[in-house]
A and B are shown apart, each in its own frame.
Chain A
Amino acid sequence: MSNMRKEEAQRRVDRIQVFIEELNQLESEGIFWLSTEERARIDSYHGTLLDHLTRQFDIDVNNAEKQLSWGMRIVSLLGALAISAALFFFFHRFWGLLATPVQVGILIAAPLLATLAADLVARRDRSRYFTAILCLVALTCFVLDLSVLGEIFNITPSQNAFLAWAAFALLLAYGYGLRLLLIAGMCCLLAYTSATIGTWSGGYWLSFGERPENFVAAGALLTLVPLIPHRRRPGFAAGYRIFGLLTIFVAILILANWGEISYLPWSAKTIEYGYQTAGFLLAGGIIALGIRRHWPGTANLGSTFFILYLYTKLFDWWWDWLPKYLFFLLLGLIAVGLLLVLQRLRKLSREVRP
């Protein structure tokens, strides 16, 4: 039990809930029931276990608590954003009243103090909501730190700042198990990797957005991160995979409709057809991989983009010459057709399974 993580504890609690509900259902239908003594023993065991897990991990024991937890996460995010904005405008407002050495001192001290405060709070905060707020504030302070130093000393902008921010955000994310910081770290890492890949062709780093292939490569690298075992943070592996794939899918969607901005030296139409084909193949492959590996988020992402690619293709073919009502009717019928196909596939897979 001492090595259990919060996610494992939450899964155990969820299994207990489901077990109790199913047991009650079987009893009410007269299919199966436990003796009074057996039921009392199980209830007593589960009660003690739930009490222990709640005290140790601050997890949700029922649906009402789960809904409240979602509310707390949203409030925690909004609170962190508001405090970060307050910090930004505070610097903005009072900056000019301070001498340069004082400015530099404050800029360096702010993220250090915020990090120490986050660590202090984390030792008492089992819920991690307050820790998340302080970690996001620490990251904001670090971003402000380098940005404002760049302004004060008129430094030429460089993509290396994204690497520093990514490293810091990921240290906090892994240290406290915070997905919000993981997302921030992945965003910074994506920006740094795409910009650096962009410079390999000789371009200026800030133009990395002009070539979506930079993001395809960077997204692909992110999807490979889960190859590094994540035993202590298993949820993070799925995060990298989904974020990386989302990046690739969006980049391909852009290139499938706007071939002029590709690195490839072919005509725009050829590039667009190529990426449209690649998009469908990739989405199909990701759906299959997600089902095979029991990665529901991955399979859903693949399905979403398969439909998106299909709809954009249909728009290309039919929007201009079909009446609008007919266009949307056809889209709806295609969706129904896809549902029937998927239903058939699901039935077949049940027949195949013994």
Chain B
Amino acid sequence: MKRPRLWLALALIVAVNALVLTGVARNRAGAPEASLTLTERELPLDVDPYHDEKSGVALRLDWNQGYGIDQWFDAGKLRELGFDVPSSSGKSEDFHRLLPRKVFVVLEYEGATWLRFKAEKERKLNDLEEKSRAGTITEEDAKNERAWLERVLRFGSRLFAVDAGVDPRQLRQRYPDKRRYPIMAASVRAISNYEESREIPRGTVDHLLITGLHVPHELHAPLLGLPFPEPFHFNRSEPVPRPRYTVQVEWGQRHEPWVTGVSLVGEDSTE
């Protein structure tokens, strides 16, 4: 290859990396946009224990998808996000043809939505006991349902999506508490629910654009060697696990998160 082209190829590598690292620096500059301490409930280990040779440690960002979204992600919100929403006399295919959009979503941690969710699940647990006594549900079904409800209450994520918008600054003005409301980029889609003999436009959060967090080498020591929790099976009667660690996470100016601390949770912790 002629020298100028070689230098161009090398310069391209350096320039692109410089651009990426500059973006990272800009994201982490100044005061964090949000700062939370999450637990294994929201950030489980992201590893396949049977097939993985990976020596790095990553956490998966789990959030409670779907619950409560119906309350706020309606036709008006869809239009606000730029969707050309068909009228409610349209067919469901008309809604599903709309392409997903990139927007910013407000997540709420251990807030009003979590309390509502918790109360609802606890009510279901109580109802389950009554149904079991009345014989309207089999013992096996009651046991499976109880196991699932207890797991969700004691080991499920306490992060819920509560709002969305195209301008994260406006969202931050609406949700100023930076220790409870991180704002993240997400892909959202228009769908429809068939209610009252017509298609009602609704929105759904397809997925967050960042689904995992890398734990830097200098912080991952507490997580090394932690046994991977067994997948949840309805047929087993193992006790609900307790979260084993907490993770300090900060979000930057571009709403991209990073881990700033990891600690193991004590045996007597109420977490």
Decide yes or no whether B226 CB sits under 8 A from chain A. Answer: no
Q: What are 13 residue pairs bridging A and B, where the CB atoms are less than 8 Å apart in the complex?
A: A92-B55, A96-B55, A99-B217, A99-B218, A108-B14, A145-B17, A153-B20, A153-B27, A154-B258, A168-B9, A175-B2, A201-B99, A211-B99
- A341 interfacial by beta-carbon distance below 8 Å: no
**Given the complex, which residues of A lie within 8 Å of B23, measured CB to CB?**
155
Q: Is A32 engaged at the interface, CB distance under 8 Å to the other chain?
A: no
A184 in the interface, Cβ–Cβ < 8 Å?
Answer: no
Is A167 positioned at the interface, with any CB of B under 8 Å from its CB? yes
Binding site for A on B (CB under 8 A): 1-2, 5-6, 8-10, 12-14, 16-17, 20-21, 23-24, 27, 53-58, 82, 93, 97, 99-102, 185, 187, 209-210, 212-214, 216-218, 220, 254-258
Asked if A311 CB lies within 8 Å of chain B CBs, one says: no
Judging by beta carbons under 8 Å apart, are B13 and A115 in contact? yes
CB distance from B253 to the nearest CB of A (A): 12
Given A108-B14, A115-B6, answer yes or no on A154-B185 (Cβ-Cβ < 8 Å).
no
Interface centre among B13, B24, B212 (most CB of A within 10 A): B13
Complex interface: chain B residues within 8 A of A152 (CB): 214, 216
Note all chain A residues with C-beta closer than 8 A to B55: 92-97
Contact of A204 among B9, B102, B212, B214 (CB under 8 A): B102
Asked if A142 is at the interface (CB within 8 A of a chain B CB), the reply is yes
**Chain A, 159-176, contact with B by CB distance < 8 Å: what is the 0/1 string?**
000001001100110111
User: Which of A108, A157, A174 makes the CB contact (< 8 A) with B13?
Assistant: A108
- Distance in angstroms from A297 CB to nearest chain B CB is 27
Q: Does A86 contact B (CB under 8 A)?
A: no
Which B residues are in CB contact (< 8 Å) with A302? Answer: none
Report the interface size class on chain A.
Answer: 35 or more
State how many angstroms separate the Cβ of A146 from the closest Cβ of chain B.
Answer: 7
Bound form: Cα–Cα A145–B102 in Å: 25
- Contact residues in B for A93 (Cβ distance below 8 Å): 53-55
In the A-B complex, the 6 residue pairs with the smallest Cβ-Cβ separation, listed nearest first, are A175-B1, A96-B55, A203-B99, A96-B56, A95-B56, A204-B102
Are B102's CB and A175's CB within 8 A?
no
With A154-B256, A168-B9, A175-B9: A108-B99 Cβ-Cβ less than 8 Å: no
In angstroms, Cα B217 to Cα A94, docked, is 11
Residues of A within 8 A of B185 (CB): 156
| Inter-chain contacts of A203 with B (CB < 8 A) | 99-101
Specify which chain A residues have a CB less than 8 angstroms from the CB of B5 in the assembled complex: 171, 174-175
| A119 in contact with B256 (CB, 8 Å) | no
> A149, B13: Cβ atoms under 8 Å?
no
B190 to chain A, nearest CB (A): 11
Chain A 257-311 residues near chain B, CB threshold 8 A: 260-261
Report the minimal beta-carbon distance from A72 to chain B, rounded to whole angstroms.
21
Output the least CB separation between A335 and chain B (Å): 37
- Chain B residues near A116: list those with CB within 8 A: 10
Q: When the two chains form their complex, are residues B220 and A96 in contact, meaning their CB atoms are under 8 A apart?
A: yes
User: Complex formed: what's the CA distance from A29 to B93 in Å?
Assistant: 73
- A156 close to B254 (CB less than 8 A): yes
For the complex, what is the distance from the CA of A175 to the CA of B1, rounded to whole Å?
5
Most buried by B among A94, A104, A149, A204: A204
A98 touches B217 (CB 8 A): yes
B246 to A: closest C-beta gap in Å: 18
Closest Cβ of chain B: how far from A282's Cβ, in Å? Answer: 25
Residues of A within 8 A of B218 (CB): 99-100
Contact between A112 and B13, CB atoms less than 8 A apart: yes
CB distance from A174 to the nearest CB of B (A): 7
- List B contacts of A96 (CB < 8 A): 54-57, 217, 220
Within the assembled complex, what's the spacing in Å between the Cα atoms of A305 and B102?
36
Q: Are B256 and A145 in contact (CB under 8 A)?
A: no
CB pair A175 B256 closer than 8 Å: no
Residues of A within 8 A of B6 (CB): 115, 119, 175
User: What separation, in Å, do the CA atoms of A171 and B209 have in the docked complex?
Assistant: 31
Binary B-proximity of A240-261 (CB < 8 A = 1, otherwise 0): 0000000000000000000011
Note all chain A residues with C-beta closer than 8 A to B210: 154-156
**Chain A, Cβ-Cβ closest to B96:** A260
Are A204 and B99 within 8 A (Cβ)? Answer: yes
Task: Name the distance in Å between B3's Cβ and chain A's nearest Cβ.
Answer: 9
Task: Give the docked Cα–Cα distance between A79 and B12 (Å).
Answer: 26
Contact string against B for A residues 37-66, beta-carbon threshold 8 Å, 1 for contact and 0 otherwise: 000000000000000000000000000000
A210 at the interface (CB under 8 A from B): yes
**Listed residue (B16, B53, B54) with the most chain A CB atoms within 10 angstroms of its CB:** B16
Residues A85-126 near B (CB distance < 8 A): 89, 92-100, 103-104, 107-108, 111-112, 115-116, 119, 122
Residue of B5, B17, B20 most packed against chain A (CB within 10 A): B20
Chain B's closest residue to A102 (CB) is B217
Shortest CB-to-CB span from B104 to chain A, Å, is 11
A151 at interface, CB cutoff 8 A:
yes
- Whether, in the assembled complex, A323 has its beta carbon less than 8 Å from a beta carbon of chain B, the answer is no
Interfacial residues of chain A within 122-162, with CB under 8 A of chain B in the complex: 122, 142, 145-146, 149-157
Asked whether A204 lies within 8 Å of B16 as measured between CB atoms, the reply is: no
B1 touches A176 (CB 8 A): yes
A229 at the interface (CB under 8 A from B): no
Q: Is the Cβ of B99 less than 8 Å from the Cβ of A202?
A: yes
With the chains together, A205 CA to B185 CA distance in Å?
Answer: 13
